[in-house]
Chains A and B, each alone.
Chain A
Amino acid sequence: AQSVTQLGSHVSVSEGALVLLRCNYSSSVPPYLFWYVQYPNQGLQLLLKYTSAATLVKGINGFEAEFKKSETSFHLTKPSAHMSDAAEYFCAVIWSPGNTPLVFGKGTRLSVIA
């Protein structure tokens, strides 16, 4: 079955350090890939998405992600963590276009230490 795996349910970084959140998908056909962020007791906000236009995707709040077909990965990075980045992050995929539901990873909670 097609799936999305987020490595690490909890990641902790120091303020100003690099943020790296990992996401791998299982499919020979590249899907559409998304990263969402969720703050406590709120809905999900789109950070960025990959739809095959460019392998390096820039999103909001200084985040970016690189699609690597050979590694079936779509890892999320930010050069310098800020306290306000503390949240839960979800990687999600759509396997084919046309209003199909998202398949989510289990999420990674990011903590930022002062």
Chain B
Amino acid sequence: DGGITQSPKYLFRKEGQNVTLSCEQNLNHDAMYWYRQDPGQGLRLIYYSQIVNDFQKGDIAEGYSVSREKKESFPLTVTSAQKNPTAFYLCASSSGGSGRAARGTDTQYFGPGTRLTVL
């Protein structure tokens, strides 16, 4: 089955710890995204990557880091600098292209999410 997997489903972090959330896709998509979801705030963009070995900061990148060494993988590290990391984290991917070729291909598909709780 093609899709996006995120692990773990639940993650607990102690104060001062770094933790890494996994996101893997077998859809052969070029682009991958990380969003953070808090109650009543919708989804906010943390980082995104349009191609391997390249990524851009989103609206709330402070305290997070990412890497994109492989097309299928886009792990997110929540560092100790992130002061309020308790949230639901969602990974997404899209196939993309540019200009007219991109029309209809920008649909983002989401993984099942990881719920991170700081103890």
Residues of A within 8 A of B (CB): 9, 32, 34, 36, 41-46, 49, 51-53, 90, 92, 94, 97-102, 104-107
Contact = CB atoms under 8 A, between A and B. Distances in A.
B107 A34 contact: yes
Interface string B35-65: 1000011111100101000000010000000
A104 B97 contact: no
A98 B99 contact: yes
Given A41-B115, A106-B41, A101 B58 contact: yes
Contacts of A98: 50, 96-99, 102, 106
Given A41-B115, A43-B113, A101 B33 contact: yes
A97 B110 contact: no
16 contacts: A42-B112, A43-B4, A43-B111, A43-B113, A49-B107, A51-B104, A94-B106, A97-B98, A97-B102, A97-B105, A97-B106, A99-B98, A99-B106, A100-B106, A101-B45, A102-B45
B113 A41 contact: yes
B108 interface: yes
Contacts of A102: 33, 35, 43, 45, 92, 108
A48 B7 CA distance: 27
Given A51-B103, A51-B104, A99 B50 contact: yes
B31 interface: yes
A104 to B, nearest CB: 4
Contacts of B42: 90, 104-107
